[in-house]
C-alpha cells in the first residue's frame, strides 16, 4: 500500500449570484465593541477596510439556497470534472462551521450532517459511501483533504469527495465592521487513490497541521451584536482581528515551511501558494515571511493567486474555489501545468493551521 498516491482528479465550485459591494455598507452606522457608534462616516470606514483587506465585493447566497445546496452544486461540478460515477465515492467529507442557517433566522441546523444531505441530494444509494462533516474553522477543506489522504493511504478509501461550503452572510452582525469581510460560497474536489504508474509524479507530497487552543481559543467566537439594545440571546460571528493577524503572521509561515521541508521540495520549485483568502495584507505578509524563512528575497511572479477582491472571505470555501478557478483557467494571469508543485495553506478558528504540498 506504500505506493499509493492521493491525487485530485476533479474540482468544482459555486460562486453565489448576489453581489454586495463596499458601497452597500456605506449606508448604515457601525458600532464598536463598547456599543458606541463609530463616529467616522461609514463610507470612510468602508474605504479604510478596502485598503487593509483588499475586499471590494463579496457574494451572498440567494435566500432559496442553503449551505448544503451550495455544497451539492460544487460537488456535482467536481464529480463531472473527474468523470466518475458518484456511486463509487467511499467518503463525502464536508467542511463548514455553521451548518445550514435558514435565511432570516440565526439558528444552525446540522442534523442530519450536511454531508448526509449532500449524499441524499446527489442520489447516492451505496451504503458504503460514508458522509460526515468536519468543524475545523477556515482550514476545514484543507483538513478534509488531509483526512482523505490518510484514509486513502490506510487502504480504507479509494475515492473521496471533499467539500468546503459556507453561508457566513447569515451569521454576521451588520453593525460590526468585520461583517464586511465575510461571504458565501462552496468549493469541492474528488481525491482518488492512484498507483504510482497511474499517478506519474502527481499527488499529495506532505502535510502539516498545528492547533493552539489556550489564549488563542476565542480569537474567533460567537458573540452578541455591537448594536446597543440588541437581543443578547442572539449570537453572531465575532473576531479579534488584531490577534488573528498577529497569530497568523507568527505561526502560518512556520507551518508552511514545515510542510515544504517534509515534501523535500525546494521553495524555488514551488510554483504557487493557495492561501486562505482572509485578508490581502495578511496573505502577502505570510508569503513574505515564508520566503524569508527559506532564505529568498523576492516573490516569484504569479506566486499567490487572490480571489478576495471580488469574492471576500467565504471561510472553508476560499481555497477550493480559488484552486478551481485557476485550474479551469478563469484567472488569466495564473496557469497550472502537470508536474507543478503547489501548496494549500489555511488558518482559522480554534486556532488551527494546516498546509498541504501537492504535485499536479
- CA dihedral sign, ordered 71, 74, 76, 79: negative
Q: Give residue 2's pLDDT.
A: 58
156 and 24, same structural domain? yes
* CA dist., res. 21 & res. 42, Å (int): 13
**In the numeric block, which cell numbers belong to residue 314?**
467565504
From first to last of its 360 residues, the chain has per-residue pLDDT tens of 458 999 999 999 999 999 999 888 877 789 888 888 888 888 888 888 888 899 999 999 999 999 999 999 999 999 999 999 999 999 999 999 999 998 777 778 889 999 999 999 999 999 999 999 999 999 999 999 999 999 999 999 999 999 999 999 999 998 898 899 999 999 999 999 999 888 889 999 999 999 999 999 999 999 999 999 888 888 999 999 899 999 999 999 999 999 999 999 999 999 999 999 999 999 999 999 999 999 988 877 789 999 999 999 999 999 999 999 999 999 988 999 999 999 999 999 999 999 999 999
Whole-number CA gyration radius for the chain: 20
Question: Is residue 234 located within the same domain as residue 175?
Answer: no
Q: Does one domain contain both 141 and 230?
A: no
Whole-number Å distance between alpha carbons of 343 and 305: 12
Task: Give the per-residue pLDDT at 337.
Answer: 94
169: CATH = 3.40.47.10
How many structural domains are present in the chain? 2
197 contacts: CB under 8 Å, gap ≥ 6: none
> Looking at the structure, do residues 114 and 256 belong to the same domain, yes or no?
no
Place of cell 452544486: 73
Instruction: State the pTM of this model.
Output: 0.95
Nearest to 153 by CA among 190, 189, 115, 205: 205
Among residues 199, 230, 253, the one where a domain terminates is 199
Provide CB contacts within 8 A for 82, sequence distance 6+.
9, 10, 190, 192
CB 142 within 8 A of CB 352: no
Length of the chain, please?
360
Tell the residue number behind the cell numbers 498541504, with chain if given: 356
How far is Cα 322 from Cα 200, in angstroms, rounded to an integer?
A: 25
Residues 195 and 209 in one domain: no
| Torsion angles phi and psi, residue 14, rounded to 5 | -130, 120
Task: Specify whether 167 is located in the same domain as 239.
Answer: no
Report yes or no: 238 and 168 within 8 Å, Cβ to Cβ: no
Same domain, 125 and 184: yes
CA–CA distance from 212 to each of 71, 148, 218, 350, 354 (Å)? 29, 23, 11, 7, 12
| Residue 301 and residue 267 share a domain | yes
Among 146, 170, 199, the domain boundary falls at 199
Q: Decide: 75 and 115 in contact? Cβ < 8 Å.
A: no
Are 165 and 219 in a shared domain? no
Q: Using CA atoms, how far apart are residues 43 and 6, in angstroms rounded to an integer?
A: 48
Considering the domain architecture, whether residues 137 and 210 belong to the same structural domain is answered as no
- Biggest CA-to-CA distance, the chain: 65
Cβ 101 vs Cβ 109: under 8 Å: yes
Q: 342 and 227, same structural domain?
A: yes
Query: Are 317 and 141 spatial neighbours (Cβ–Cβ below 8 Å)?
Result: yes
Do both 210 and 286 map to the same domain? Answer: yes
| Whole-number pLDDT of residue 107 | 79
Last residue in a domain, options 151, 179, 199: 199
State the residue range of the domain holding 75: 4-199
Which pLDDT value is given to residue 1?
Answer: 45
Amino acid at each position: 500500500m506504500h505506493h499509493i498516491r492521493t491525487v485530485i482528479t476533479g474540482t468544482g465550485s459555486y460562486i453565489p449570484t448576489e453581489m454586495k459591494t463596499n458601497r452597500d455598507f456605506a449606508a448604515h452606522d457601525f458600532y464598536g465593541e463598547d456599543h458606541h457608534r463609530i463616529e467616522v462616516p461609514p463610507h470612510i470606514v468602508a474605504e479604510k477596510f478596502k485598503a487593509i483587506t483588499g475586499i471590494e465585493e463579496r457574494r451572498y447566497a440567494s435566500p432559496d439556497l442553503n449551505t448544503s445546496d451550495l455544497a451539492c452544486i460544487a460537488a456535482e461540478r467536481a464529480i463531472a470534472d473527474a468523470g466518475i460515477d458518484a456511486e463509487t465515492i467511499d467518503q463525502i467529507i464536508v467542511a463548514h462551521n455553521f451548518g445550514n442557517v435558514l435565511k432570516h433566522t440565526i439558528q444552525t441546523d446540522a442534523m442530519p450532517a450536511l454531508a448526509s444531505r449532500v449524499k441524499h441530494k446527489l442520489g447516492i444509494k451505496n451504503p458504503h459511501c460514508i458522509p460526515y462533516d468536519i468543524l475545523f474553522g477556515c482550514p476545514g477543506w484543507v483538513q478534509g483533504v488531509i483526512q482523505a489522504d490518510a484514509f486513502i493511504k490506510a487502504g480504507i478509501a479509494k475515492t473521496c469527495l471533499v467539500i468546503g461550503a459556507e453561508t457566513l452572510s447569515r451569521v454576521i452582525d451588520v453593525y460590526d465592521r468585520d461583517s464586511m469581510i465575510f461571504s458565501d460560497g462552496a468549493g469541492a474536489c474528488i481525491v482518488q487513490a492512484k498507483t504510482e504508474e497511474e499517478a506519474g509524479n502527481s499527488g499529495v507530497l506532505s502535510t502539516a497541521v498545528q492547533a493552539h487552543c489556550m489564549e488563542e481559543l476565542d480569537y474567533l467566537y460567537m458573540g452578541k451584536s455591537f448594536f446597543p439594545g440588541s437581543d443578547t440571546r442572539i449570537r453572531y460571528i465575532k473576531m479579534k482581528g488584531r490577534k488573528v493577524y498577529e497569530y497568523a503572521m507568527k505561526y502560518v509561515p512556520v507551518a508552511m515551511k514545515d510542510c515544504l521541508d517534509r515534501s523535500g521540495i525546494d521553495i524555488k520549485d514551488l510554483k504557487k501558494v493557495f492561501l486562505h483568502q482572509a485578508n490581502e495584507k495578511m496573505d502577502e505578509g505570510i508569503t513574505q515571511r515564508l520566503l524569508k524563512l527559506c532564505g529568498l528575497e523576492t516573490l516569484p511572479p504569479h506566486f499567490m493567486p487572490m480571489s478576495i477582491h471580488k469574492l471576500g472571505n467565504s471561510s472553508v470555501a476560499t481555497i477550493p474555489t480559488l484552486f478551481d478557478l485557476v485550474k479551469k483557467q478563469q484567472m488569466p494571469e495564473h496557469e497550472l501545468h502537470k508536474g507543478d508543485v503547489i501548496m494549500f495553506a489555511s488558518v482559522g478558528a480554534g486556532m488551527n493551521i494546516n498546509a498541504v504540498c501537492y504535485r499536479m
